[in-house]
Amino acid sequence: MTTLQLSSQFIKSTAIDLGFDFCGIAKSTFLNEDAKRLETWLNKGMQGKMHYMENHFDLRTDPSKLVPGAKSIITLLFNYFPEEKQNIDSPKISKYAYGEDYHLVIKDKLYNFFHRIKEKLGDINGRGFVDSAPVLERAWAQKSGLGWIGKNGNLINKNKGSFFFIASLIIDIELEYDEPLAKDYCGTCTSCIDNCPTEAILPNKVVDGSKCISYFTIELKDALIPDQMKNKFDNWFFGCDVCQDVCPWNRFAEANTEKRFEPISEILHFTSKDWEELSEEKFKIIFKDSPVKRTKFDGIKRNLNFIKP
């Protein structure tokens, strides 16, 4: 085996040892087609009030702006599909937020991953990212053969569906690169488009972020949610999983085994009454390490009031 092959093999085996489900490697290049799509999306205002999406355009499309001399993009997938689900009649929370904040969990693993790579392969410069910097993770995941971009905008893996966190490590050494998946396996299926409660999923793999339930319940910081969205949230008050729940490929999803992603008991068992009676003090205690705290107490109360019949 060549040095590149041995290095790449070590990287992939290390990723699996640390609990990542999949690891792919792509050559660092300028994302020309993705840059055009992102520019069109922004020009149409589909980012809504997520103004951060308008910033650092060059960093999103050119890895060398984030890591000088970037040669390789390592993409890692980590399963978050839960074994247990919420009480069926309760206000709904997206599955990614059932346990501890994924930023904390995955960053710890990513730091360890990069440390092991440097110990084995020598003086390497690089940076790791977990949904916290201007990196087009799904584009790199597709380029490294880990799946395809579905009509709902999510990366879909043929073996285990789409309930994954995506992490990226940009480094300045060459490796053996994986081939992009040649085929889009969505085919003629339109389940995600047909079932989106707010019609946010458009043809040609375009998602209007300004109409997505996750946007309104997490990203939008306004005191009020627009009245025209009333009765369209299907009881979701933090995020939304409809487009993933109806995706046929998620019949292959398997429960994760990460202890830190075990669901918070209250998320599984709270009734509507429990949520209504939740105090700010208890909210801060229960959700101190949870993604749910991102919306803050006032945001949670706003969302709960909005989905009331």
Q: Provide the annotated active-site residues.
A: 131
* Structure tokens, 113: 């991953």
CA distance 187 to 193: 13
Inter-residue contact 135 to 167 (CB < 8 Å): no
Q: Are 215 and 44 in contact (CB under 8 A)?
A: no
Tokens of 18: 């640390």
Beta strands in the chain (DSSP E): 22-27, 72-79, 92-93, 126-129, 148-149, 155-156, 164-171, 201-202, 206-207, 236-238
Sign of CA dihedral 246, 157, 292, 152: negative
Q: Distance (Å, rounded) from C-alpha 23 to C-alpha 145?
A: 9
Closest CA to 307 of 241, 242, 239, 235: 235
Would you list the DSSP string of 134-182? Answer: S--HHHHHHHTTS-EE-TTS-EEBTTTBS-EEEEEEEESS--PPPPPP-
Kindly give the interhelix angle for 102-121 and 3-17, rounded to the nearest 10 degrees.
150
Distance between CA atoms of residues 284 and 156, nearest Å: 34
